[in-house]
Structure 1
Amino acid sequence: MEVVILPGAKAVADLAADAVESLLRRKPDAVLGLAAGTSPLPVYAELGRRHAGSGLDFSRATAFILDEYAGLPAGHPGSFRSVIGREFTARVNIDPANVHGPDGQAADIPAACSAYEDAIRDAGGVDLQLLGLGTDGHVGFNEPGSSLASRTRIKTLVEQTRRDNARFFGSLAEVPQHVLTQGLGTILEARHLVLLATGARKAQPVHDLAEGPVAALCPASVLQLHPHVTVLLDEAAASSLRLADYYRHSYEHKPSWQGL
């Protein structure tokens, strides 16, 4: 796991966008994993600027959305498909037909989750997965207590997560109780995981994911088992890390050829 501590949220977004751009330059038909929380939104804005300004090409790319609320009507502005449509798809030249998400309206939820797993596998797997981090250590919507080997499935949200997401709805009461989310085992199959966290509220879960034990109490800690994880932080999110000075030293002195 590489932990990179940066001056602020813009630097975090820019470096994540660098990773996506580097991937697309060497593999134009890359498979991207998209998270729809707050942290990745500046990344999508930056990718949109690079597409408009320097022609960064998404025309051959495919994307899979990490999760989706269960039961929201099609086109609901709070759905993650709508968020990704506004924040990413509309800003670049990716074919909307190549942007896939879990079917939160499916009559047979287990079958829809299995089909989503199959679609990711049939696409060749995710090359780069963008991730955010919940204040309780969740990644995707794998809440504390999730199986570390879990696959795409329905999950019940904890109240803190619903409160954290109420700003995207008219009120807390409108936030769904259930979501479809890629499981931790599914996420771990992506070839490169890029997790972004900014702000002091993320300091404790950042410490737990990077320096704590691998445990279901902090689902994101399972990323310690992945061979290629990049954790991008601002100073506030990094403030509880015991090895912060080492992470800074390592990043400042890494070989120029290595990349993220």
Structure 2
Amino acid sequence: MQSNAVLSSKDNVNIKRYQKLAASKKARQADGLFVLEGARLIGDALLEHARLDCLMITESAVEKYPALLAQADLKEVRLLVISNELGARIAQTEQPQGVFAVCRMPRQASYRPVLKQGGHFLILHELQDPGNLGMILRTADALGIDGVFLCGCCDVYSPKVIRATMGSVFRVPLWQELDTDKLLAAMKAAGVHTYAAVIDPEARELRSCDFDGTAAVMIGNEGNGIPAQVADACDFRLTIRMQGHINSLNAAMAAGIILWELQGGQI
């Protein structure tokens, strides 16, 4: 993992690739790559055996993160030392640490065998806020959810979502499935009970749901919730009863409450 010279040109192919991947979902999907920034996030990626294509670190950061460099060296990750000016140029955080990486997206295996193994799952339907998606993945990680399905959501590999997950993106099993009907049919065939989280006084109150057996809860779009036809395709409709005049919660907050109940109020 040796780097012979300090990169200082903004036109360097590695710098241009990093910036393109950071800015473009299309480029990320085409190359199967995404970017990471920050020592903790990159350290988590290495600990969870994510495949790093390269590690870029500024001159001033080299002495600050010897453990990270040693960790990357053990994984035989290609190292590039870049100038402090280039680091400031490509950074997207308010207080950049001067540590960046390009990471390969994990290969997505079939989810059908996983569904047959039992467990508790989360389905996110057309969630569009990167902060919400990242926070929900952190919550799913903390509560030991067995897998998360993304149906038409914002790009989970965008820098904003990746930062919001605080490393949980490397620990939570993820599947992307644009065809919600196909997913629900596969769950039904595998004996998974599906629950649509809705704002409806006629729906089953969350605390009355026992979630026996294999179960999956669906959380909908921040503004529009779950479309009626999709909610109707689920086995059950559930709701969080609220007091006062409020009738809805932030998607990430609602997901946290529901996942806590899904896991039986235990970690």
- TM-score range for the pair, normalised by the shorter chain length: under 0.3
Larger RCO, structures 1/2 (Cα 8 Å, 6+ apart): 1
**Alignment TM-score, normalising by the size of structure 1:** 0.26
